[in-house]
Structure 1
Amino acid sequence: MLLLLLVLAACAQTPEATGPAPSTTPASTTAASAPATSGADLLGRYHWQLNNAIDSKGTRIDALFVRPNQPLQLDFSADRLNVVNSCNTLGAGYSIKKGRMQVGPMVSTMMACRDPGLAALDDAISQRLRGSLNVNLLARDNAPSLQLVTDSGDTLSFTGVPTAETRYGGPGEIAFLEVAPQSVPCNHPLIPDKQCLLVRERYFDEQGLASGTPGPWQPLNQDIDGYTHTPGIRNVLRVKRFTVRNPPADAPSVAYVLDLVVESEKVGQ
């Protein structure tokens, strides 16, 4: 069964800042008075993972924590936020002015989730990411934090995890890798009997159609960040390829980060 989900339009990636994050400054004061490099720009440099949520009485909002190993996450571009790890893909426009975040209507895909708690998660987060929210963004060097407070008194607290662009200091290059169903033996100086993904580069035109001749199959002697391989499944991945500055000895000079699984096929044995 072949699942084709090729979304080449996203290759025009939303620009994200590439320099280091500014040090301790609350966005509630800088968003109105400082250049864009402090508020919205800082938001775009991190994945914001929900670590706590309480209502006006201080009671934890359990409906937002149905998957502890996959916390709700907010990703920001210049004028849009996306909700990750909910049931559906959610997104809305936003703006920040004078310490307030104005969130536009939330749009969503229409996938059904069998788990009742997960199905209710979309409504639980959408109800709180709407209208005008008080925003407090603190840019600590190691763990920036984001706090959103609704008019009803719910407080959502997030921890910033650097994006790949932030970690590697640049926007990266979009590439497509086809991953063979089975891994293969490969040489590794520290890991005997190492198994590697077998990959080849693929090419697509602006309409999302396969073009050109695929590259040769070869073992990939490193991981693809964010990708977990299932034996017997052939995948085509859209990845971001980054140059690693000053890699350690025997470490790769290139890093691969999963952007999207665009094609998946179960291959019979």
Structure 2
Amino acid sequence: MRVWSCAVALLALLVAGPSQAQAALDAPAGQAPVGSLATTLQLIRHRWQLVEATDAHGQRIAALFVADAAPLELDFNASLVSVGRACRVMSAHQRVLADRLEVATFDIAPQPCPVPAQAARDVQIVRRLQGTLRLHFEPDPPLKLVLVNADGDRLVFAGE
């Protein structure tokens, strides 16, 4: 998947032209201009591991953290986001617009999930990621991707 993502990113750079491509490459890790090619490249460049999830009231969303299960991850390419370490295979079309990330309805593999808590986690992450989310990066090491949905749920992912 990383090879495909890199190929798509390189194609995007070629289409963007030399000045936009150089600006994207020169942008500091935590300061990619939101809504730009640099933001898309920043999303593609990292695997994003869920480290924090809170609802609009600041309460931890426990359903997204299952004991004895690896944290959920997001992987991006130029047009898709996929959820890694989930019980089922799932991905959705996405696009960056200004300071927003638009995520379409997820396609989810119809395979059974034998662990009820992990099946519930799959449902919860999809519910929270679909739609339009506010997007920003926090540059303090490690780089963090922060997504906030319309309900005020705040999901923080550390870049690897």
Alignment-mate amino acid for residue 24 of structure 1 = G
* Counterpart in the other structure of 2:30: 24
**Secondary structure, in 3 states, of the residue corresponding to 2:159?**
strand
Partner deviation per Cα, 1:196-216 (whole Å, 9 max, x = no partner) = xxxxxxxxxxxxxxxxxxxxx
* Counterpart in the other structure of 1:128: 128
**Secondary structure, in 3 states, of the residue corresponding to 2:123?**
helix
Q: 1:11 to 1:153 in 2, by over 3 A?
A: closer
* Counterpart in the other structure of 1:15: 6
Q: Give me the identity figure in percent.
A: 32
Q: Is the 8 A contact 1:31 1:98 kept in 2?
A: yes
**Secondary structure, in 3 states, of the residue corresponding to 1:127?**
helix
With a CA cutoff of 8 Å and minimum separation of 6, indicate the structure with the bigger relative contact order: 2
**Secondary structure, in 3 states, of the residue corresponding to 2:125?**
helix
Partner deviation per Cα, 1:52-100 (whole Å, 9 max, x = no partner) = 1011111100100014551000000011100001110110010111101
Structure whose residues are more often helix by fraction: 2
Map 1:50-89 to 2 at 5 A.
50-67=50-67, 70-89=70-89
Q: 1:115 to 1:11 in 2, by over 3 A?
A: closer
Tell me the TM-score normalised to structure 1 length. 0.50
**Gapped runs of 5+ residues in structure 1?**
1-9, 162-269
* Counterpart in the other structure of 2:146: 147
Q: Is the 8 A contact 1:55 1:155 kept in 2?
A: yes
**Secondary structure, in 3 states, of the residue corresponding to 2:5?**
coil
Bigger mean CA offset, 66-75 vs 97-106: 66-75
Map 1:213-252 to 2 at 5 A.
none
CA distance in structure 2 between the partners assigned to 1:40 and 1:31 by the alignment: 9
Structure whose residues are more often strand by fraction: 1
Map 1:102-181 to 2 at 5 A.
102-140=102-140, 142-161=141-160
Alignment-mate amino acid for residue 152 of structure 1 = D
Task: Give 1:41 deviation, angstroms.
Answer: 0.3
Query: Number of matched residues?
Result: 145
Q: Is the 8 A contact 1:136 1:148 kept in 2?
A: yes
CA distance in structure 1 between the partners assigned to 2:68 and 2:134 by the alignment: 26
Q: Is the 8 A contact 2:132 2:149 kept in 1?
A: yes
Alignment-mate amino acid for residue 144 of structure 1 = L
Q: Is the 8 A contact 1:21 1:139 kept in 2?
A: no
Q: Is the 8 A contact 1:22 1:139 kept in 2?
A: no
**Gapped runs of 5+ residues in structure 2?**
11-24
**Secondary structure, in 3 states, of the residue corresponding to 1:114?**
coil
> Which structure has the larger Rg?
1
Alignment-mate amino acid for residue 91 of structure 2 = G
Tell me the TM-score normalised to structure 2 length. 0.81
